[in-house]
């Protein structure tokens, strides 16, 4: 059972996936509650373009891709504020163009097709010690940020406009949120893959939401579910010999289905308890 | 608060309201009346510094909202709330303190006292742990009122606080606002339900593109001003010292009949 943990690379990969899963689950709470699921999806594709460009220009991957992602997020905000274009359309334009640029560069320089696969679907074999450190650093920063900003972030997420009226610096909250989201996607790219990150961001919070009505509990649950599914996912990927990204997502999807079944059952039980009380 | 020749609205469209002249003294209690789309919400947003001010000036406590967004208690229209959001009653009430004690990540004791004190006063302390959707309309309204009051505002702006609730709940809400007003809170509230405010408020302002009428209900609400505000023929009845506004009695069939027989706007339908 514990056989894969005898390999250093697996331990590194498992640590990366656990942290990345928890991190995506944490930031996902805000993504889902602000109904920005499509932003996570779009941004991961945009960041892929940034990653390839940084690679081609031999700029540090983390810095280059994060800056690119942050710039894309701000560009999306800007385009969406011109109310003639909806935010979804703005995201479509910005992120697909960015993704296309990445693919174009890769097809021109055929040398990194192997890491191309890894970037799209996630590959824990490619996770190095530096990657784990980067994920750990972003996780720590995000955890501190969420703690320090708690009351302001909660209000801004619930009702951004009214929060502004109450003196909450919502523009700052939004900018820091975009920056954090970009950083989360960048450090999770290798483990989860561009195409799977959006699901890793969305599934844990939705699962948590089914289980609680309380924001604080939802945040803790979502982080825990994300981390658990990250770990479970790479473990399954070892035994089933599948790519780590899809494996993590499939495990999360199962957790979601279980939560759905549980909440349906709970409602049914509550209803029948109520009915039987009525009868007596 | 004061509006001086203000024209306000949104970027990229003509002003919603223009030529606004309106002064509300400290301690005032004013109802903004007007049909849907008249610009009631826009006027509140102007006072919050959140609408575009094309012309003129908007002052809150003597300071222009262009310079600095004022700090006032704001209760948004309940329709604007995301009811699926996982927050409890106490979490919403505490939001009123989100900008206080900014150096502390958590709510301090004084914040909690302010929020819980308000919840108690509004009779919702017992619901503290409930999700906001598991409440009646009147209770929901009080949750958001508690949030506004937790920030100890001197000016309270309420958008449609008595919409869609039964008469008893509405009366309770208005009495509560009266009490607050007596304790020195200036209140401006919007509504499109005329009688809800006519019977209770000392002053009403009828809005439609600009200020149509302004004064105590019995002076401001006349058939002529109501026609200009709502575009409909309404009757005003004085009953035991109360001003009541009702629709003009007519049957649809009769109206259609008279139109068909060469009434003033024949062929308009
Ligand atoms: N954010 C906005 N951007 C552009 N126009 C708006 C916006 N909000 C409201 N309006 C327009 O302003 C007018 C007045 O709206 P509003 O102030 O909400 O009316 P009321 O609150 O009296 O029902 C309406 O015609 C509406 O279409
Ligand atoms: Mg309105």
- Mean residue pLDDT of chain B comes to 87
Average pLDDT, chain A: 88
Residue among B82, B99, B106 minimizing CB distance to A166: B99
Tell me which of A179-188, A198-207, A233-242, B98-107 is least confident.
B98-107
pLDDT score at B15? 94
Q: Kindly report the CATH number assigned to the domain that includes residue A198.
A: 1.10.3470.10
The structure's pTM equals 0.88
Please give the Cα distance from B1 to B62 (Å, whole number).
7
pLDDT for A251 equals: 96
Average pLDDT over residues A120-147: 90
pLDDT at B266: 40
Interface touch B50/A165, C-beta < 8 Å: yes
Return the pLDDT at B262: 46
Q: What percent of chain A has pLDDT over 90?
A: 46
Q: Is residue A274 part of a domain?
A: no
C-alpha span between B90 and A47 (Å, rounded): 39
Structure confidence at residue B265 as a pLDDT band (50, 70, 90): very low
A276 within a domain of the structure (yes/no): no
| pLDDT at A189 (0 to 100) | 87
* pLDDT score, position A280: 53
Whether A64 maps to a domain, the answer reads: yes
List the domain range (segments joined by +) for residue A118: 3-269
The number of domains in chain A is: 1
Per the domain annotation, does A280 fall within a domain?
no
Distance from CA of B95 to the nearest CA of A (A): 6
Using an 8 Å CB-CB cutoff, list chain A residues near B112: none
Specify if A128 maps to a domain. yes
Taking one residue from A and the other from B, the number of pairs with CB-CB distance under 8 angstroms is: 75
Ligand 1 site, residue B51, Cβ cutoff 6 A = no
How many angstroms does the Cα of residue B39 sit away from the middle of ligand 1? Answer: 6
> Running DSSP on this structure, what letter comes out for residue B264?
T
pLDDT reading at A72 higher than 80: yes
Give the gyration radius of chain B's Cα atoms. 21
How far is Cα B150 from Cα B128, in angstroms, rounded to an integer?
Answer: 14
pLDDT of residue A86: 74
pLDDT for B185-241, tens place per residue? Answer: 999 999 887 887 777 889 999 999 999 999 998 888 888 888 888 888 888 887 777
Domain membership flag for residue A278: no
In a domain, A61, yes or no: yes
pLDDT confidence tier of residue B10, bands split at 50, 70 and 90:
very high
- Residue B162 confidence (pLDDT): 81
Mean pLDDT confidence for B24-45: 93
Do the beta carbons of residue A210 and residue A252 sit within 8 Å? Answer: no
Q: Cβ(A28)–Cβ(A79) under 8 Å?
A: no
In this prediction, residues A202-229 reach a mean pLDDT of 96
* B 113-172 near A (Cβ less than 8 A): 131, 151
Kindly indicate the confidence band of residue B267, based on its pLDDT and cuts at 50, 70 and 90: very low
Query: Once rounded to an integer, what is the mean pLDDT over residues A110-119?
Result: 67
Q: Is the CB of B13 under 6 A from ligand 1?
A: yes
Longest CA pairwise span in chain B (Å): 74
Rounded CA-CA distance A267/A111 in Å is 55
Identify which of B9, B147, B155 has the alpha carbon closest to the alpha carbon of residue B69: B155
3-class secondary structure, B30: strand
Q: Does some domain include residue A275?
A: no
What digits encode the pLDDT tens for the residues B59-90? 998 899 988 888 899 999 998 899 999 999 99
CB contact under 8 A, B74 and A164: no
Contact residues, chain A to chain B, C-beta under 8 Å: 33, 83, 147-152, 154-155, 157-159, 161-168, 209, 212-215, 218
Question: In chain A, whose CA is at the least distance from the CA of B111?
Answer: A151
Residues of B in contact with A164 (CB under 8 A): 50, 69
A92 burial class (0-12, 13-18, 19+ CB within 10 angstroms)?
middle
User: What residue owns the CA closest to ligand 1's atom 13?
Assistant: B37
Question: Which residue on chain B is closest to A208 by alpha carbon?
Answer: B86
């Amino acid at each position: 059972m514990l056989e894969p943990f005898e390999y250093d690379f697996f331990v590194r990969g498992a640590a990366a996936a656990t942290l990345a899963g928890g991190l995506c689950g944490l930031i996902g709470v805000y993504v889902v509650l602000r109904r920005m699921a499509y932003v996570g999806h779009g941004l991961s594709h945009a960041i892929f373009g940034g990653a390839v460009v940084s690679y081609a220009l031999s700029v540090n991957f983390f810095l280059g891709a994060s800056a690119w992602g942050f710039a894309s997020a701000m560009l999306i905000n800007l385009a969406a504020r011109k109310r003639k274009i909806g935010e979804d359309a703005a995201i479509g334009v910005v992120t697909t163009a960015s993704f296309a640029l990445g693919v174009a560069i890769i097809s021109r320089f055929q040398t990194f097709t192997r890491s191309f696969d890894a970037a799209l679907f996630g590959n824990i074999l490619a996770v190095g010690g530096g990657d784990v450190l980067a994920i750990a650093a972003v996780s720590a920063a995000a955890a501190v940020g969420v703690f320090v900003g708690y009351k302001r972030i909660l209000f801004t997420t619930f009702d951004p406009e009214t929060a502004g009226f109450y003196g909450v610096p919502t523009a700052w909250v939004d900018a820091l949120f975009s920056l954090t989201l970009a950083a989360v996607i960048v450090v999770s790219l290798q483990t989860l893959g561009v195409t799977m990150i959006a699901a890793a961001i969305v599934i844990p919070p939705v699962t948590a939401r089914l289980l609680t009505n309380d924001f604080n509990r939802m945040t803790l649950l979502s982080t825990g579910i994300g981390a658990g599914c990250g770990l479970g996912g790479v473990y399954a990927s070892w035994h089933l010999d599948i790519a780590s990204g899809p494996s993590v997502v499939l495990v999360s999807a199962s957790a979601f289905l279980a939560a759905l079944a549980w909440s349906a059952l709970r409602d049914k039980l509550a209803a029948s308890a109520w009915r039987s009380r009525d009868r007596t | 608060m004061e509006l001086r020749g203000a024209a306000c609205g949104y970027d990229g469209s003509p002003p919603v309201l223009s030529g606004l002249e309106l002064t509300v003294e400290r301690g005032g209690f004013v109802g903004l009346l007007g049909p849907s789309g008249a610009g009631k919400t826009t006027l509140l947003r102007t006072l919050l510094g959140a609408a575009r001010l094309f012309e003129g000036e908007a002052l809150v406590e003597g300071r222009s909202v262009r310079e600095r967004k004022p700090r006032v208690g704001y209760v948004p229209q309940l329709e604007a709330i995301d009811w699926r959001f996982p927050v409890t009653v106490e979490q919403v009430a505490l939001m009123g303190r989100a900008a206080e004690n900014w150096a502390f990540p958590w709510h301090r004791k004084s914040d909690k006292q302010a929020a819980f004190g308000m919840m108690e006063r509004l009779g919702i302390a017992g619901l503290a742990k409930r999700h906001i959707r598991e409440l009646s309309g009147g209770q929901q309204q009080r949750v958001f009122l508690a949030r506004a009051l937790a920030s100890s505002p001197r000016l309270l702006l309420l958008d449609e606080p008595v919409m869609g609730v039964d008469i008893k709940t509405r009366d309770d809400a208005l009495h509560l606002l009266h009490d607050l007003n007596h304790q020195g809170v200036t209140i401006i509230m919007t509504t499109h339900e005329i009688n809800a405010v006519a019977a209770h408020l000392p002053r009403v302002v009828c809005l439609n593109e600009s200020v149509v009428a302004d004064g105590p209900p019995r002076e401001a609400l006349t058939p002529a001003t109501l026609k200009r505000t709502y575009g409909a023929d309404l009757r005003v009845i004085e009953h035991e010292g109360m001003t009541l506004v009702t629709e003009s009695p007519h049957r649809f069939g009769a109206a259609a009949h008279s139109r068909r027989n060469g009434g003033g706007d024949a062929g308009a339908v």
